[in-house]
Amino acid sequence: MTGSDGPHREPGSDFRPAGPASDRAREEEERAVEQALALVGGSDRTGGPGGRPSRSQDTQGLQGPQAPRDPQDHQGPRGHQGSRDPHDPRDENPNPGPSNAPHTRRSGDSAPYNDRDNAPHDDRTTAANASAPGSGQPPHPGRPSPGGTAKPTPTPPSWERARAIAARAGRGGPTATIRLPLDRALGHVLAEALGALTDLPSFDTSAMDGWAVAGPGPWAFETGAGLLAGRGAAAALADGTAVPIATGARVPPDTTAVIRSEHAHVDVARGLLHARRSVVTGQDIRPRGQECRSGEQLVPAGTVVTPAVLGLAAAAGYDALPVVPRPRVDVLVLGDELLNAGLPHDGLIRDALGPMLGPWLRALGAEVSGPRRLGDDAGDLHSALTSSDADLIVTTGGTAAGPVDHVHPVLDALGAELLVDGVAVRPGHPMLLARLAPDGPYLVGLPGNPLAAVSGLLTLAEPLLAGLAGRPAQDPYRALVHAEVHGHPHDTRLVPVVHRPGRAGGRDHVAPLRYNGPAMLRGIAAADGLAVVPPGGVRSGTEVEILDLPWAPATPWTEGCFT
Ligand SMILES: Nc1nc2c(c(=O)[nH]1)N[C@H]1C(S)=C(S)[C@@H](COP(=O)(O)OP(=O)(O)OC[C@H]3O[C@@H](n4cnc5c(N)ncnc54)[C@H](O)[C@@H]3O)O[C@H]1N2
Ligand code: MOO
């Protein structure tokens, strides 16, 4: 196996025609890749030929005990060339140095491909649902067929295309509408625009505690508490008179202005009220309909119900809101090696994904059940998938081609449609998106390595859930990155970053964080975003796309963010 950060080859290199001519072509391609790697200061970190393995290679490779499972296991310090400390375990950059290396086109580039999304950047992509010729079924890359032969691995879609496929899948179905009382609507998405059910304010209102006056002063005044908030309509105010009025009280008809108590002088002896300042007609009166007229649109459909939206809706007369039901998500955690509590021991490790995914998915607007821990049992996985009534099932682990990686075989057995089968992104390239049946739930298969799972969550689950929850797509935003960020030669990298304010006239920027290896969570735990680093990497001072983490300040607040 080569693992995720193994020798960097064009994705198409997995698709190899048979025969001596193609062997020669392959050798040439491999040389070209080596040359490109030399240009960018990279190396073949496995020390041997071969690119991203097909699943058949993976499977065969894993039969023997010598086959390393973790891509980092076999890189060795020798693979870390260039300026980086070869023994620094804190980051696991797939390739040292940004690159102007030419994109070498590979044999797989000519694979049949229909880019219906016009995805940017990667014109080498092949959608996973492009059927194998004549099969009528999606290809199942590289896993042995029942007859024992392996099907070729198609080129994985680019990161952008994979996200576009997930977003389109989420937007695909009809959007249901439910009415939820205000106290249960937080974090949902409005299914309809909110029109005001009343004028706001619904009557002319005093903005201050003071005096309502009519005509020019001085004014004869009434004594006592005067007009209070919450009382019915008062009688019209006669010219030359004033009445005490409280903030929020209805302003009597024919009132010229409200004078704040601190701007008024009461001459008790003469029974007259004087203004200490000039009085402008209408001052400190909020006229009826100042904020909106009845029927006017307050917020559009697709708005996330925030605490502020709840307040506005209540003010405008709503007791319940028309919202899109939260997508229901089942979380299935696979892996016999996982512990729910205590310290790692005897080769067993703590499940890092179960505790993380529920809250994260809730922050993305989902209603989550689980995590359910299944171990590595194909039968259990099969029955969990067939018995789920969720809109989306998220699995963790088991996406690769190891001996106990059951996700693909079980999806095969169920006749599921693979919409995305692997993505040209690091970490997380084995992630997948499937639909179990035409009207059945979606399944996002997250790789088991924890940061790879985060990558899958944000690449596939987030856009899918946005669509299912009725959220409009967010405009991507870019930020300046204040460091050179190493890139993968042909895949996108997602790198944890933290926003930093510009100092001494400098611009706000993001700083990449260390401990960003696929099995590490230390970087992402300190991050407030993920930088989308294009193939080849970026130099310091470049703008890169940023994916916000759902608890980052720029993101709409949703219920359950930290529950
Ligand atoms: N021959 C190849 N092997 C692998 C490749 C490859 O290209 N060729 N890719 C590697 C990459 S990259 C990833 S990512 C993983 C994905 O594997 P799986 O999705 O099948 O995940 P597992 O094998 O079950 O686990 C991988 C790793 O993560 C640990 N893990 C799993 N679940 C959890 C959890 N809930 N909490 C914490 N850690 C977890 C698990 O113990 C393994 O160490 O495949 C590589 N192999
Ligand atoms: O690097 Mo793997 O891609 O850990 O996901």
Question: 121 alpha carbon to ligand 2 midpoint, in Å?
Answer: 22
333 in ligand 1 pocket by Cβ < 6 Å?
A: yes
Ligand whose nearest atom lies closest to the CA of 52 = 1
The whole-number pLDDT of residue 225 equals 79
Distance CA 437, CA 387 (A): 13
**Neighbour tally for 112: CB within 10 Å:** 10
- Exposure string over 355-389, b if 16+ CB within 10 A, otherwise e: ebbbbbbbbbbbbbebbebbebebebbbebbeebe
pLDDT tens string 152-204: 567 899 999 999 999 999 998 767 899 999 999 999 999 999 999 999 999 99
Cis peptide before 146 (omega within 30 of 0): no
User: For residue 260, which of 238, 241, 276 has the smallest C-alpha distance?
Assistant: 276
Distance CA 535, CA 468 (A): 30
Ligand whose nearest atom lies closest to the CA of 455 = 2
- Is the pLDDT higher at 563 or at 483? 483
Name 442's Cβ contacts closer than 8 Å, sequence gap at least 6. Answer: 169, 391, 392, 393, 433, 434, 435, 436, 464
The whole-number pLDDT of residue 341 equals 97
Ligand 2 pocket, residues with Cβ under 6 angstroms: 4, 71, 426-429, 447, 449, 452, 518
353 in ligand 1 pocket by Cβ < 6 Å?
A: yes
Name the E strands within 374-519: 392-396, 417-421, 425-426, 432-435, 442-446, 477-481, 492-500, 509-512
Alpha helices in 407-531 (DSSP H): 407-414, 450-456, 462-468, 522-525
Question: 76 alpha carbon to ligand 1 midpoint, in Å?
Answer: 18
Report the share of the chain in percent with pLDDT over 70.
Answer: 71
At residue 312 the predicted structure's pLDDT band, cuts being 50, 70 and 90, is very high
Tokens of residue 256, six digits? 């010229």
pLDDT at 250 over 50: yes
How far does Cα 286 stand from its chain's mean position? 41
**What's the DSSP call for residue 444?**
E
Expressed in percent and rounded to 5, the helix, strand and coil fractions of the chain are 20, 20, 55
363 in ligand 1 pocket by Cβ < 6 Å?
A: no
Ligand whose nearest atom lies closest to the CA of 46 = 1
First-to-last C-alpha distance (Å) of the chain: 40
Q: What is the mean pLDDT of the chain?
A: 78
Distance CA 69, CA 170 (A): 33
Name 202's Cβ contacts closer than 8 Å, sequence gap at least 6. Answer: 288
The whole-number pLDDT of residue 152 equals 56
Distance CA 420, CA 445 (A): 10
Distance CA 404, CA 397 (A): 10
- Is the pLDDT higher at 43 or at 420? 420
Among 426, 432, 490, 493, residue to substitute to test ligand 2 (most atoms within 8 Å of Cβ): 426
The whole-number pLDDT of residue 553 equals 57
Beta strands 178-181 and 417-421: pairing type?
Answer: unpaired
Tokens of residue 457, six digits? 């969550």
The whole-number pLDDT of residue 91 equals 52
Alpha helices in 280-434 (DSSP H): 307-315, 353-363, 378-387, 407-414
At residue 445 the predicted structure's pLDDT band, cuts being 50, 70 and 90, is very high
pLDDT tens string 123-161: 333 344 333 333 333 333 344 444 444 455 678 999 999
